Amino acid sequence: MTHESLTRYAWLSIAAALATILLKGLAWWLTGSVGLLSDALESFVNLAGAIVTLLMLGVAALPEDDNHAFGHTKAEYFASGFEGVLILLAAAAIAVAATDRLIHPQPLQQVGAGLAVSVVASLINFGVARVLLRAGRRYHSIALEADAHHLMTDVWTSAGVLVGVAAVAATGWQWLDPLLALAVAANIVWTGWKLLHRSAEGLMDAALPAEQHQVVVQVLERHRGDGLDYHALRTRQAGARQFVSVHVLVPGAWTVARGHDLAERIEVEIRDLLPRATVTTHIEPLEDAASWHDVGLDRQPQPVAKDTTS
């Protein structure tokens, strides 16, 4: 998938955010509902997140260079992390507005028209979120997936606000509206925290999911019968890319060509099952004790045996 093709989804998200800001802002202006105001504020977060997603997709698509030999795909984590921070800020703003409204309640106006406008905005978000989620999963874009999940959270948040406004209209209990706005703020905090945690995990080189890690292990286990062993298996996720490295221990009597051919076969089999993976193997002699110490990231130097043949 080309950079231009992926960014069209980010532009779609930007357009949806602008439309929902106008619609939800109109709904708040019509009703005076602080719940609908909180909904409108979150749409500004959607807009900011969509813009950053657009920018980071451009960075992530850049090819590797001398200073970034592993590519730029981690840039997508900055988009989801930035969005998470904005979500937390929006939650704080919503909580302040809701607390003020609890202390100074005000009656809602034109509830029917406001609800109708907000429903239209929610339907736009729902449709765009589904498109982004499918695209994110199909093209393995963390940024698009994060944007989609945030939009879906906005849909459920809007649904809660609409129920609250309708409840106020039906019961006359003005405190229901700001109370629900506080619940919305709490939900937004949880969403923001999850996005920040996911971004941090990616930037910290978290391993591949357990099921994908197991795929690599199964390939290596199948080749134990060929007279080899393995260790120092490491995996990591970097945006849309995956990285796998492993030490393959082969009999010392093997030729370099034979060991290399086996390593190539292992790499191909892993890539067939994990097409987005960059696989690196390191060949070591099975009988050499030093090979078995070559496991950790910080390898402890081993004494070199003296040559007694001379």
pLDDT tens, residue by residue, 111-142: 566 667 777 888 888 999 899 988 888 887 87
Question: Which residue spans of the chain are classified as CATH 3.30.70.1350?
Answer: 210-293
Mean pLDDT is lowest, of 46-50, 159-163, 252-256, for: 159-163
**CA dist list (Å): 30 to 117, 285, 296, 301:** 10, 76, 63, 73
- CATH architecture of the domain with range 210-293: 2-Layer Sandwich (3.30)
d(CA 239, CA 111): 44
Place of tokens 């200073």: 67
Quote the pTM value: 0.68
Mean pLDDT is lowest, of 70-74, 110-114, 294-298, for: 110-114
Mean pLDDT, residues 193-204 taken together: 83
d(CA 92, CA 100): 13
d(CA 138, CA 142): 11
Question: Looking at the predicted structure, is the pLDDT value of residue 62 above 90?
Answer: no
d(CA 116, CA 189): 27
Residue 6, pLDDT score: 79
d(CA 52, CA 76): 9
Residue 184, pLDDT score: 75
- Band of pLDDT at residue 74, cut at 50, 70 and 90: confident
Kindly report the average pLDDT of the chain as a whole number.
Answer: 80
Residue 251, burial from CB neighbour count under 10 angstroms (0-12, 13-18, 19+): middle
Q: What percent of the chain has pLDDT over 90?
A: 19
d(CA 256, CA 40): 65
Question: Which residue spans of the chain are classified as CATH 1.20.1510.10?
Answer: 3-203
Neighbours of 221 (CB within 10 A): 11
State the alpha helices, DSSP H only, in the chain.
3-31, 34-60, 75-103, 111-139, 142-171, 176-203, 210-222, 256-273, 289-293
Tokens for 294? 């070559």
Residue 272, pLDDT score: 94
Residue 230, pLDDT score: 92
**64 CB contacts (<8 Å, ≥6 apart)?**
70, 71, 72
Q: What is the pLDDT of residues 243-272, one digit of tens each?
A: 999 999 999 999 999 999 999 999 999 999
Question: Looking at the predicted structure, is the pLDDT value of residue 281 above 90?
Answer: yes
Question: Looking at the predicted structure, is the pLDDT value of residue 161 above 90?
Answer: no
Residue 3, pLDDT score: 47
Measure the N-to-C terminal CA separation of the chain; round to a whole number of Å.
60
CB 286 within 8 A of CB 252: yes
- Band of pLDDT at residue 305, cut at 50, 70 and 90: low
- Band of pLDDT at residue 106, cut at 50, 70 and 90: low
CATH of domain 3-203: 1.20.1510.10
Tokens for 107? 């009656």
